[in-house]
Chain A
Amino acid sequence: MSERWTLNAQADVSCRHWDGETVVHHRLSNDTHRLAEPAGWVLDRLAAAGALDVNEIAADSPYAAADLTPALDALSQLGLIARC
Protein backbone atom coordinates (compact mmCIF):
# COMPACT_ATOMS: atom_id res chain seq x y z
CA MET A 1 0.00 0.00 0.00
CA SER A 2 1.31 3.46 -0.92
CA GLU A 3 2.13 5.92 1.81
CA ARG A 4 -0.48 8.57 2.40
CA TRP A 5 0.02 12.31 2.44
CA THR A 6 -1.73 15.20 4.09
CA LEU A 7 -1.20 18.91 4.41
CA ASN A 8 1.14 19.70 7.26
CA ALA A 9 -1.36 21.01 9.79
CA GLN A 10 1.32 22.90 11.69
CA ALA A 11 2.37 24.74 8.56
CA ASP A 12 -1.05 26.39 8.16
CA VAL A 13 -0.65 26.78 4.42
CA SER A 14 -2.38 29.42 2.31
CA CYS A 15 -2.27 29.23 -1.51
CA ARG A 16 -3.05 31.35 -4.55
CA HIS A 17 -3.09 30.03 -8.11
CA TRP A 18 -2.39 32.14 -11.17
CA ASP A 19 -1.84 30.92 -14.72
CA GLY A 20 -0.59 27.47 -13.82
CA GLU A 21 1.61 28.64 -10.96
CA THR A 22 0.99 28.56 -7.24
CA VAL A 23 2.24 30.86 -4.53
CA VAL A 24 2.15 29.39 -1.04
CA HIS A 25 2.58 30.95 2.38
CA HIS A 26 3.82 28.67 5.16
CA ARG A 27 2.78 30.38 8.35
CA LEU A 28 5.05 28.37 10.63
CA SER A 29 8.25 29.48 8.88
CA ASN A 30 6.77 32.66 7.34
CA ASP A 31 8.31 31.53 4.02
CA THR A 32 6.64 32.15 0.68
CA HIS A 33 7.17 29.67 -2.16
CA ARG A 34 6.43 29.94 -5.86
CA LEU A 35 5.60 26.53 -7.27
CA ALA A 36 5.07 25.19 -10.78
CA GLU A 37 2.49 22.53 -11.50
CA PRO A 38 1.76 19.86 -10.45
CA ALA A 39 2.54 21.15 -6.95
CA GLY A 40 -0.53 23.37 -6.87
CA TRP A 41 -2.73 20.49 -7.96
CA VAL A 42 -1.34 18.31 -5.18
CA LEU A 43 -1.95 20.96 -2.52
CA ASP A 44 -5.52 21.51 -3.72
CA ARG A 45 -6.29 17.79 -3.73
CA LEU A 46 -4.92 17.33 -0.23
CA ALA A 47 -6.72 20.42 1.05
CA ALA A 48 -10.01 19.07 -0.29
CA ALA A 49 -9.61 15.41 0.63
CA GLY A 50 -7.50 15.32 3.77
CA ALA A 51 -5.22 12.30 3.34
CA LEU A 52 -4.51 10.63 -0.02
CA ASP A 53 -1.93 8.35 -1.57
CA VAL A 54 -0.22 9.18 -4.81
CA ASN A 55 -2.63 7.14 -6.91
CA GLU A 56 -5.62 8.87 -5.36
CA ILE A 57 -4.04 12.26 -5.97
CA ALA A 58 -3.45 11.27 -9.60
CA ALA A 59 -7.05 10.17 -10.08
CA ASP A 60 -8.98 12.62 -12.27
CA SER A 61 -5.79 14.63 -12.75
CA PRO A 62 -3.81 15.34 -15.91
CA TYR A 63 -0.75 13.83 -14.21
CA ALA A 64 0.49 10.30 -13.89
CA ALA A 65 1.34 9.05 -10.42
CA ALA A 66 5.01 8.84 -11.39
CA ASP A 67 4.99 12.53 -12.31
CA LEU A 68 3.58 13.45 -8.91
CA THR A 69 6.22 11.70 -6.81
CA PRO A 70 8.93 14.38 -7.25
CA ALA A 71 6.37 17.07 -6.40
CA LEU A 72 5.35 15.20 -3.24
CA ASP A 73 8.97 14.89 -2.18
CA ALA A 74 9.61 18.60 -2.81
CA LEU A 75 6.49 19.68 -0.95
CA SER A 76 7.46 17.44 1.93
CA GLN A 77 10.95 18.95 2.10
CA LEU A 78 9.38 22.42 2.26
CA GLY A 79 7.27 21.28 5.19
CA LEU A 80 4.03 21.92 3.32
CA ILE A 81 2.83 18.31 3.40
CA ALA A 82 3.61 15.33 5.59
CA ARG A 83 3.26 11.56 5.53
CA CYS A 84 0.49 10.20 7.69
Chain B
Amino acid sequence: MSPAAAAAATPQHLRRGLTLQTGPFRFRIQSAEPGVARGLATLYAGFPLGGDEGLRDFHVSVDRVPGPRRWLRPQIEFLHDGQAPFKPLPADQAFAMLEWGMNWCIATRAHHYLLLHAAVLERNGQAVILPGEPGAGKSTLTAALMLCGWRLLSDEMTMIDRDDGLIVPLARPVSLKNRSIDIIRAFDPSAVFGEVAHDTHKGTVSHLRPSTDSVHRMDEKARAAHIVFPRWKADAPTSLRPRPKADAFMHNASHAFNYSLLGRLGFELNAALIDDCDCWDFEYSQLDDALRAFEELVR
Protein backbone atom coordinates (compact mmCIF):
# COMPACT_ATOMS: atom_id res chain seq x y z
CA MET B 1 0.00 0.00 0.00
CA SER B 2 0.25 2.92 -0.58
CA PRO B 3 1.22 5.67 1.66
CA ALA B 4 -1.92 7.26 0.26
CA ALA B 5 -3.99 4.67 2.01
CA ALA B 6 -2.40 5.31 5.36
CA ALA B 7 -2.74 9.01 4.86
CA ALA B 8 -6.38 8.50 4.00
CA ALA B 9 -7.09 7.27 7.49
CA THR B 10 -7.12 10.79 8.83
CA PRO B 11 -9.86 11.78 11.24
CA GLN B 12 -11.51 13.83 8.47
CA HIS B 13 -11.57 10.97 5.98
CA LEU B 14 -12.67 8.45 8.56
CA ARG B 15 -15.51 10.71 9.68
CA ARG B 16 -16.87 10.55 6.13
CA GLY B 17 -16.13 6.83 5.90
CA LEU B 18 -13.45 4.80 4.19
CA THR B 19 -13.40 1.36 2.61
CA LEU B 20 -10.77 -1.05 3.87
CA GLN B 21 -9.97 -4.27 2.03
CA THR B 22 -8.80 -7.11 4.27
CA GLY B 23 -8.53 -10.52 2.66
CA PRO B 24 -11.72 -11.15 0.69
CA PHE B 25 -13.76 -8.59 2.66
CA ARG B 26 -14.44 -4.91 2.16
CA PHE B 27 -15.35 -2.97 5.28
CA ARG B 28 -16.92 0.46 5.14
CA ILE B 29 -15.70 2.11 8.37
CA GLN B 30 -16.89 5.37 9.84
CA SER B 31 -15.70 6.96 13.05
CA ALA B 32 -15.04 10.33 14.55
CA GLU B 33 -12.75 8.80 17.17
CA PRO B 34 -9.15 9.98 16.80
CA GLY B 35 -7.96 6.71 18.36
CA VAL B 36 -9.59 4.74 15.57
CA ALA B 37 -7.96 6.94 12.93
CA ARG B 38 -4.56 6.53 14.59
CA GLY B 39 -5.02 2.78 14.87
CA LEU B 40 -5.97 2.41 11.22
CA ALA B 41 -3.13 4.62 10.05
CA THR B 42 -0.59 2.71 12.14
CA LEU B 43 -1.76 -0.87 11.85
CA TYR B 44 -3.39 -0.96 8.41
CA ALA B 45 -0.80 1.27 6.78
CA GLY B 46 -0.07 -1.29 4.06
CA PHE B 47 -3.64 -2.24 3.24
CA PRO B 48 -5.43 -1.15 0.10
CA LEU B 49 -8.20 1.32 0.64
CA GLY B 50 -11.12 0.95 -1.72
CA GLY B 51 -12.92 3.77 -3.37
CA ASP B 52 -16.56 4.62 -2.93
CA GLU B 53 -17.58 2.47 -5.86
CA GLY B 54 -18.68 -1.15 -5.66
CA LEU B 55 -20.15 -3.25 -2.89
CA ARG B 56 -18.96 -3.48 0.69
CA ASP B 57 -19.43 -6.61 2.75
CA PHE B 58 -19.83 -4.81 6.06
CA HIS B 59 -20.82 -1.29 7.06
CA VAL B 60 -19.53 -0.52 10.54
CA SER B 61 -18.95 2.49 12.75
CA VAL B 62 -17.38 3.25 16.11
CA ASP B 63 -18.60 6.41 17.78
CA ARG B 64 -19.41 8.04 21.09
CA VAL B 65 -22.54 7.06 22.90
CA PRO B 66 -24.75 10.15 22.89
CA GLY B 67 -25.96 11.88 26.01
CA PRO B 68 -24.18 13.13 29.13
CA ARG B 69 -21.70 10.25 28.91
CA ARG B 70 -20.06 12.06 26.05
CA TRP B 71 -18.26 14.16 28.69
CA LEU B 72 -18.28 12.06 31.84
CA ARG B 73 -16.33 8.82 31.34
CA PRO B 74 -17.16 8.78 27.63
CA GLN B 75 -18.11 5.52 26.02
CA ILE B 76 -18.09 4.29 22.46
CA GLU B 77 -20.26 1.79 20.66
CA PHE B 78 -19.75 -0.41 17.65
CA LEU B 79 -22.53 -0.42 15.07
CA HIS B 80 -23.05 -2.86 12.22
CA ASP B 81 -25.70 -1.76 9.75
CA GLY B 82 -26.80 0.71 12.41
CA GLN B 83 -27.32 -1.98 15.05
CA ALA B 84 -25.21 -2.37 18.22
CA PRO B 85 -24.35 -6.02 18.87
CA PHE B 86 -22.28 -5.20 21.99
CA LYS B 87 -22.57 -3.05 25.07
CA PRO B 88 -20.62 0.23 24.95
CA LEU B 89 -17.02 0.33 26.12
CA PRO B 90 -14.78 3.10 27.49
CA ALA B 91 -13.68 5.48 24.76
CA ASP B 92 -10.01 4.58 25.08
CA GLN B 93 -10.90 1.08 23.83
CA ALA B 94 -12.25 2.39 20.53
CA PHE B 95 -9.73 0.77 18.20
CA ALA B 96 -9.85 -2.55 20.05
CA MET B 97 -13.63 -2.45 19.79
CA LEU B 98 -13.41 -1.90 16.05
CA GLU B 99 -11.15 -4.96 15.75
CA TRP B 100 -13.47 -7.11 17.86
CA GLY B 101 -16.45 -5.86 15.92
CA MET B 102 -14.82 -6.69 12.59
CA ASN B 103 -14.10 -10.20 13.88
CA TRP B 104 -17.73 -10.50 14.94
CA CYS B 105 -18.94 -9.44 11.49
CA ILE B 106 -16.91 -12.14 9.79
CA ALA B 107 -17.66 -14.84 12.36
CA THR B 108 -21.41 -14.29 12.15
CA ARG B 109 -21.76 -13.65 8.42
CA ALA B 110 -19.04 -15.28 6.32
CA HIS B 111 -20.56 -18.73 6.11
CA HIS B 112 -19.26 -19.34 2.63
CA TYR B 113 -16.12 -20.41 4.57
CA LEU B 114 -15.58 -22.91 7.35
CA LEU B 115 -14.36 -20.60 10.10
CA LEU B 116 -12.05 -22.16 12.68
CA HIS B 117 -11.02 -20.29 15.80
CA ALA B 118 -7.30 -20.57 15.14
CA ALA B 119 -4.30 -18.62 13.99
CA VAL B 120 -2.65 -19.65 10.73
CA LEU B 121 0.72 -18.85 9.18
CA GLU B 122 2.61 -20.10 6.15
CA ARG B 123 6.25 -20.88 5.42
CA ASN B 124 7.75 -22.71 2.43
CA GLY B 125 4.28 -23.23 0.97
CA GLN B 126 3.04 -25.02 4.07
CA ALA B 127 0.32 -23.48 6.21
CA VAL B 128 0.39 -24.27 9.91
CA ILE B 129 -2.85 -23.88 11.85
CA LEU B 130 -2.61 -22.95 15.53
CA PRO B 131 -5.78 -23.56 17.51
CA GLY B 132 -5.42 -22.79 21.17
CA GLU B 133 -7.27 -22.13 24.35
CA PRO B 134 -7.01 -18.60 25.78
CA GLY B 135 -3.69 -18.23 27.56
CA ALA B 136 -2.07 -21.06 25.61
CA GLY B 137 0.46 -18.71 24.02
CA LYS B 138 -1.05 -18.86 20.54
CA SER B 139 -0.93 -15.15 19.77
CA THR B 140 2.57 -14.72 21.21
CA LEU B 141 3.83 -17.54 19.04
CA THR B 142 1.95 -16.20 16.03
CA ALA B 143 3.46 -12.74 16.45
CA ALA B 144 6.99 -14.10 16.87
CA LEU B 145 6.68 -16.36 13.82
CA MET B 146 5.42 -13.47 11.71
CA LEU B 147 8.27 -11.25 12.88
CA CYS B 148 10.67 -14.03 11.82
CA GLY B 149 9.36 -13.99 8.26
CA TRP B 150 6.42 -16.38 8.34
CA ARG B 151 3.44 -15.14 6.35
CA LEU B 152 0.50 -14.32 8.58
CA LEU B 153 -2.83 -15.48 7.22
CA SER B 154 -4.74 -14.75 10.43
CA ASP B 155 -4.14 -14.58 14.16
CA GLU B 156 -7.75 -15.33 15.04
CA MET B 157 -9.72 -17.03 12.30
CA THR B 158 -8.72 -19.77 9.88
CA MET B 159 -11.00 -19.52 6.85
CA ILE B 160 -11.38 -22.68 4.77
CA ASP B 161 -12.66 -22.17 1.23
CA ARG B 162 -15.61 -24.48 0.65
CA ASP B 163 -14.77 -24.91 -3.04
CA ASP B 164 -11.14 -26.02 -2.86
CA GLY B 165 -10.39 -26.59 0.84
CA LEU B 166 -7.57 -24.03 0.79
CA ILE B 167 -7.01 -21.42 3.47
CA VAL B 168 -8.03 -17.89 2.56
CA PRO B 169 -5.81 -15.19 4.11
CA LEU B 170 -7.29 -12.62 6.41
CA ALA B 171 -4.22 -10.59 7.26
CA ARG B 172 -5.13 -8.28 10.11
CA PRO B 173 -3.29 -6.88 13.13
CA VAL B 174 -2.28 -9.46 15.74
CA SER B 175 -4.07 -8.97 19.04
CA LEU B 176 -1.68 -9.31 21.96
CA LYS B 177 -2.69 -9.34 25.58
CA ASN B 178 -1.07 -8.68 28.92
CA ARG B 179 2.45 -10.11 29.27
CA SER B 180 2.69 -11.09 25.63
CA ILE B 181 2.85 -7.40 24.67
CA ASP B 182 6.13 -6.88 26.51
CA ILE B 183 7.46 -10.27 25.39
CA ILE B 184 7.01 -9.34 21.74
CA ARG B 185 8.33 -5.79 22.25
CA ALA B 186 11.48 -7.32 23.72
CA PHE B 187 11.63 -9.99 21.03
CA ASP B 188 11.62 -7.42 18.23
CA PRO B 189 12.01 -3.78 19.26
CA SER B 190 11.22 -2.70 15.69
CA ALA B 191 7.74 -4.27 15.79
CA VAL B 192 5.02 -1.68 15.25
CA PHE B 193 2.27 -1.62 17.87
CA GLY B 194 -0.91 0.37 18.16
CA GLU B 195 -1.97 2.12 21.33
CA VAL B 196 -2.43 0.07 24.48
CA ALA B 197 -5.97 -0.38 25.79
CA HIS B 198 -6.10 -1.06 29.52
CA ASP B 199 -8.76 -2.80 31.60
CA THR B 200 -10.58 -4.38 28.69
CA HIS B 201 -12.53 -7.59 29.24
CA LYS B 202 -9.40 -9.35 27.96
CA GLY B 203 -7.04 -7.36 30.17
CA THR B 204 -4.47 -5.07 28.59
CA VAL B 205 -4.60 -5.27 24.80
CA SER B 206 -2.43 -3.94 22.01
CA HIS B 207 -2.33 -4.79 18.33
CA LEU B 208 0.72 -5.56 16.25
CA ARG B 209 0.99 -4.46 12.63
CA PRO B 210 1.02 -7.40 10.19
CA SER B 211 4.17 -7.81 8.10
CA THR B 212 4.40 -6.23 4.67
CA ASP B 213 4.70 -9.64 3.02
CA SER B 214 1.51 -10.83 4.75
CA VAL B 215 -0.41 -7.83 3.48
CA HIS B 216 0.97 -7.95 -0.06
CA ARG B 217 0.06 -11.63 -0.35
CA MET B 218 -3.40 -11.45 1.21
CA ASP B 219 -4.99 -12.77 -1.99
CA GLU B 220 -2.77 -15.86 -2.05
CA LYS B 221 -4.43 -18.95 -0.58
CA ALA B 222 -2.41 -21.64 1.20
CA ARG B 223 -2.65 -25.37 1.70
CA ALA B 224 -2.58 -26.61 5.28
CA ALA B 225 0.15 -29.08 6.21
CA HIS B 226 0.12 -29.07 10.02
CA ILE B 227 -2.26 -28.39 12.89
CA VAL B 228 -0.28 -27.54 16.00
CA PHE B 229 -1.97 -27.11 19.39
CA PRO B 230 0.42 -24.86 21.31
CA ARG B 231 0.64 -24.66 25.07
CA TRP B 232 3.01 -22.40 26.94
CA LYS B 233 4.13 -23.87 30.27
CA ALA B 234 6.73 -22.34 32.55
CA ASP B 235 10.07 -24.18 32.44
CA ALA B 236 8.74 -26.87 30.13
CA PRO B 237 11.15 -28.27 27.55
CA THR B 238 10.06 -27.81 23.95
CA SER B 239 8.17 -30.88 22.84
CA LEU B 240 6.17 -31.82 19.77
CA ARG B 241 4.02 -34.93 20.06
CA PRO B 242 1.51 -36.37 17.60
CA ARG B 243 -2.10 -35.67 18.50
CA PRO B 244 -4.78 -38.19 17.47
CA LYS B 245 -6.49 -36.97 14.33
CA ALA B 246 -9.96 -37.73 15.64
CA ASP B 247 -9.19 -35.55 18.63
CA ALA B 248 -7.97 -32.72 16.41
CA PHE B 249 -11.11 -33.08 14.31
CA MET B 250 -13.38 -32.76 17.33
CA HIS B 251 -11.43 -29.80 18.66
CA ASN B 252 -11.78 -28.00 15.33
CA ALA B 253 -15.48 -28.78 15.22
CA SER B 254 -16.19 -27.58 18.73
CA HIS B 255 -14.12 -24.40 18.34
CA ALA B 256 -15.29 -23.46 14.87
CA PHE B 257 -17.58 -20.48 14.50
CA ASN B 258 -19.92 -22.20 12.05
CA TYR B 259 -19.20 -25.95 11.92
CA SER B 260 -22.74 -26.92 12.93
CA LEU B 261 -24.32 -24.30 10.74
CA LEU B 262 -22.60 -25.76 7.65
CA GLY B 263 -23.90 -29.26 8.42
CA ARG B 264 -22.45 -32.02 6.21
CA LEU B 265 -20.29 -29.51 4.35
CA GLY B 266 -18.62 -28.51 7.63
CA PHE B 267 -17.92 -32.15 8.38
CA GLU B 268 -16.45 -32.81 4.94
CA LEU B 269 -14.28 -29.67 4.97
CA ASN B 270 -12.97 -30.41 8.44
CA ALA B 271 -12.32 -34.05 7.54
CA ALA B 272 -10.44 -33.09 4.38
CA LEU B 273 -8.33 -30.67 6.40
CA ILE B 274 -7.48 -33.36 8.94
CA ASP B 275 -6.64 -35.78 6.12
CA ASP B 276 -4.17 -33.25 4.69
CA CYS B 277 -2.49 -32.34 7.98
CA ASP B 278 -0.20 -33.83 10.57
CA CYS B 279 -1.58 -32.97 14.01
CA TRP B 280 0.60 -32.11 16.99
CA ASP B 281 0.56 -31.09 20.62
CA PHE B 282 3.28 -28.54 21.17
CA GLU B 283 4.55 -27.45 24.57
CA TYR B 284 7.13 -24.75 25.10
CA SER B 285 8.50 -22.22 27.53
CA GLN B 286 11.23 -20.52 25.48
CA LEU B 287 10.19 -18.61 22.39
CA ASP B 288 13.49 -19.12 20.54
CA ASP B 289 13.28 -22.88 21.00
CA ALA B 290 9.70 -22.83 19.80
CA LEU B 291 10.64 -20.95 16.65
CA ARG B 292 13.38 -23.45 15.86
CA ALA B 293 10.90 -26.31 16.25
CA PHE B 294 8.49 -24.63 13.83
CA GLU B 295 11.25 -24.05 11.27
CA GLU B 296 12.10 -27.74 11.51
CA LEU B 297 8.47 -28.67 11.00
CA VAL B 298 8.20 -26.97 7.60
CA ARG B 299 11.72 -27.67 6.33
Q: List residues of chain A with CB under 8 Å of any chain B CB.
A: 12, 14, 16, 18-19, 21-23, 25, 27, 30, 32, 34
- Give the total of B residues in contact with A, Cβ under 8 Å: 15
Asked if residues A25 and B267 are in contact (CB atoms below 8 Å), the reply is yes
Asked if residues A18 and B264 are in contact (CB atoms below 8 Å), the reply is no
Asked if residues A23 and B260 are in contact (CB atoms below 8 Å), the reply is no
Knowing that A18-B274, A34-B246 touch, tell me 20 more A-B residue pairs with CB under 8 angstroms.
Answer: A12-B264, A16-B271, A16-B274, A18-B246, A18-B249, A19-B244, A19-B245, A19-B246, A21-B244, A21-B245, A21-B246, A23-B246, A25-B264, A27-B263, A27-B264, A30-B263, A32-B250, A32-B267, A34-B249, A34-B250
Given known contacts A18-B244, A18-B245, A32-B250, A23 and B271 CB-to-CB distance under 8 angstroms: yes
CB-CB < 8 A to A16: which residues of B? 249, 271, 274-275
CB-CB < 8 A to A23: which residues of B? 246, 249-250, 271
Asked whether any CB of chain A lies closer than 8 Å to the CB of B268, the reply is yes
Closest 5 CB pairs of A and B: A18-B245, A21-B246, A25-B267, A16-B271, A23-B249
CB-CB < 8 A to A34: which residues of B? 246-247, 249-250
User: Would you call the interface of chain B mostly helix, strand, loop, or mixed?
Assistant: helix
Asked whether any CB of chain A lies closer than 8 Å to the CB of B253, the reply is yes
Give, as a whole number of angstroms, the nearest-CB distance from B280 to chain A.
Answer: 14
Q: List residues of chain B with CB under 8 Å of any chain A CB.
A: 244-247, 249-250, 253, 260, 263-264, 267-268, 271, 274-275
